[in-house]
Amino acid sequence: MNIIENLKYHQDNELEDWINSDDKVTRKFLKELVKYSKVNFNEIEQYCINTIPTEYSSLSIVYEAFSEYSIDFNEFLFKEIQRVVNLAKNKRIKPEYLELLTDIETEDIYSKTEDIYIEIMEFLTSNLHLQNEPEFNIELLDVIDWFLIELDQDDEISESRIWINRITELANNGDLGVKIKAREVLKNSDISNALPPFSLIEKIKGIFK
């Protein structure tokens, strides 16, 4: 099988063989995918665009390969982040399928293409709204949490204050489940915000979340 056929096989097989493969085998394929994509990028791009995310998607293989073994595709990964988030926002896929985006390794995007990292974070946090379905906000916050963890607190990224303010807005005023997740993101990022405590009713409801 060629690269595209392999991806289609894993898509149809819901990644069962991929998940059970030896690490050496998967690493070899990821590197081959990167090498192939440098020559046949349009083909890979069209494959991704025509693939609607599911719980077990071959897109995760592409995202892992591009972000772990190259920095040449970071702009494309940003476009994919936009595509997948918009699919969930427009209710064309389940919000939980946003988890697919956490297969993108963020370290090199941040350390080697900081401008793209900033664009990604601006896009992700700008899609947080009190008017969103709570489930969408919770899943999007999970993705943001993944990307924010890699943020070096010593780096002066002026935009980061805006990102934190958007998360804090949900931590203060969102649905209870959204509040809990937003506060978790702030805590995981070692960001100390003076947030009002939960009310007694919220504390009781939170026990059952």
Domain membership of residue 209 as a residue range: 76-209
Same domain, 148 and 103: yes
| Tens-digit pLDDT profile for residues 159-181 | 888 999 999 999 999 999 999 99
Retrieve residue 200's tokens. 């007694």
Same domain, 50 and 102: no
CB 134 within 8 A of CB 142: no
Q: Which of 30, 50, 70 is the last residue before a domain boundary?
A: 70
Same domain, 59 and 126: no
Same domain, 161 and 204: yes
Instruction: Let me know if 77 is exposed, middle or buried by CB neighbors in 10 A (0-12, 13-18, 19+).
Output: buried
Same domain, 100 and 196: yes
Q: Which of 45, 70, 95 is the last residue before a domain boundary?
A: 70
The whole-model pTM stands at 0.90
Same domain, 111 and 188: yes
| Tens-digit pLDDT profile for residues 70-100 | 999 999 999 999 999 999 999 999 999 999 9
Computed from CA positions of residues 59, 78, 146, 127, in that sequence, does the dihedral angle turn out positive or negative? Answer: negative
Same domain, 50 and 82: no
Same domain, 85 and 126: yes
Please tell me the distance from the alpha carbon of residue 53 to that of residue 67, in angstroms, as a whole number.
18
